């Protein structure tokens, strides 16, 4: 069985995937999955840099992702038109735009420039003043919860495209950060799944809204079908903010958990994320628990108890792992 990877090792592996993908695209790789893989791992690097406090480097990576967005949009649009079983003029027009956008990136040496930015933003000097993921995670969760709640409220009051797009981008940022947190002592796999579901709904709406613009630009015959699909997903996207009111609370709350433990759901999510069982090997169980008995804003909110040698936990009504909930009996809670 492979040994568990540290955060730095995982980040280094993601950087390698980014550089390999850039090399393939520079050499003429036209597969949409290569670009998609590149953007995903750039976002994972960006989340890692945000979590360790390397904000300038994270911003550089974000600009790299944005530079590739137009080509990605055209490629996704091409697949959408293909699914409409259009093999005529519409598909030819879209494929022509895909090729022109791809050639423009190569002519401007975009992939080489992105490679330089990636190497610079992840160099030892750029990360010299960084901190650990676990050190920043709790603080970022509180910040993210506050900004997420504000965006949800705005989108609920007026669910226009711009506000829903801003909400989607924030959810995406939090999701990638929480995927890194699956490797930490306080993983929240359920939250990651909820973020993914919300991102999918808002992402489909944003895609179709953009497809309508592109279809008008190219005078495509499939404009009416795109409009019908857009109206369908718009209704779902506009209703979503009202369903997300508890999401920010799930992000900010603290829970009773075992130090060093990972829930089965967290391990499953992490294995799915990494694509290999070895990367998700959980750390050894620490024989202590952390109990949050005060609000997160209170400095007294964390107590550590040592477990008995036999591994029993008499102060709990049941064993607790990862994100599971548990109850403290009244007498023992007072004793704490």
- The pLDDT profile of the chain, 336 residues, written as one tens digit per residue, is 344 567 778 889 999 999 999 999 999 999 999 999 999 999 999 999 998 889 999 999 999 999 999 999 999 999 999 998 766 899 999 999 999 999 999 999 999 999 999 999 988 777 766 677 777 888 899 999 999 999 999 999 999 999 999 999 999 999 999 998 887 768 899 999 999 999 999 999 999 999 999 999 999 999 999 999 999 999 999 999 999 988 888 887 754 343 344 445 545 555 555 554 334 333 333 333 333 323 333 333 433 334 344 433 332 333 333 333 333 323 333 222
Which residues are within 8 A (CB) of 88 and not within 5 positions of it... i.e. 6 or more apart? 221
Q: How many CB atoms lie within 10 A of CB 53?
A: 18
User: What CA–CA distance (Å, rounded) separates 316 from 313?
Assistant: 6
Spatial contact of 256 and 325, defined as CB atoms under 8 Å apart: yes
Q: Give which of 267, 43, 6, 42 is closest to 174, Cα–Cα.
A: 43
Cβ(122)–Cβ(41) below 8 Å: no
Q: Pick from 172, 190, 189, 181: which is nearest to 138 by CA? A: 181
What gap in Å lies between CA 85 and CA 70, rounded to an integer? 23
What does pTM read for this prediction?
0.74
Kindly list the distances between the CA atom of residue 249 and the CA atoms of 137, 149, 177, in Å, as whole numbers in the listed order: 15, 8, 16
State residue 322 phi and psi, 5-degree precision: 60, -120
Both tokens of residue 180?
């890194």
Please say whether the beta carbons of 254 and 139 come within 8 A.
no
- Nearest to 154, CA basis, from 54, 83, 261, 238: 238
């Amino acid at each position: 069985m492979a040994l568990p990877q540290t955060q730095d090792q995982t980040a280094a592996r993601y950087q390698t995937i980014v550089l390999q993908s850039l090399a393939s695209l520079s050499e003429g790789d036209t597969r949409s999955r290569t670009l998609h893989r590149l953007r995903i791992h750039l976002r994972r690097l960006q989340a890692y840099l945000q979590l360790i406090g390397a904000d300038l480097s994270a911003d550089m990576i974000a600009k790299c992702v944005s530079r590739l967005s137009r080509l990605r949009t055209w490629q996704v649009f091409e697949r959408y038109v293909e699914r409409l079983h259009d093999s005529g003029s519409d598909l030819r027009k879209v494929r022509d735009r895909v090729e022109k956008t791809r050639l423009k990136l190569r002519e401007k040496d975009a992939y080489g420039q992105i490679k330089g930015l990636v190497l610079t933003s992840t160099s030892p000097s750029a990360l010299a003043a960084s901190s650990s993921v676990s050190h920043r995670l709790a603080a970022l969760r509180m910040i993210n919860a506050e900004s997420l709640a504000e965006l949800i409220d705005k989108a609920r009051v007026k669910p226009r495209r711009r506000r829903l797009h801003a909400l989607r981008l924030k959810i995406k940022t939090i999701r990638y950060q929480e995927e890194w947190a699956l490797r930490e002592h306080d993983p929240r796999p359920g939250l990651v799944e909820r973020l993914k579901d919300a991102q999918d709904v808002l992402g489909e709406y944003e895609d179709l809204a953009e497809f309508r613009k592109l279809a008008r630009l190219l005078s495509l015959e499939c404009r009416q079908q795109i409009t019908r699909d857009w109206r369908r997903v718009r209704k779902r996207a506009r209703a979503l903010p009202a369903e997300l009111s508890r999401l920010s609370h799930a992000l900010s709350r603290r829970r009773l958990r075992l130090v060093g433990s990972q829930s089965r759901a967290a391990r499953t999510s992490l294995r799915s994320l990494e694509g290999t069982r070895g990367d998700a090997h959980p750390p050894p169980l620490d024989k202590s628990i952390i109990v949050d008995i005060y609000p997160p804003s209170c400095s007294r909110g964390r107590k550590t108890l040592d477990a008995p040698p036999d591994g029993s936990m008499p102060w709990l009504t049941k064993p607790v792992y990862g994100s599971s909930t548990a109850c403290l009996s009244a007498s023992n809670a007072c004793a704490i």
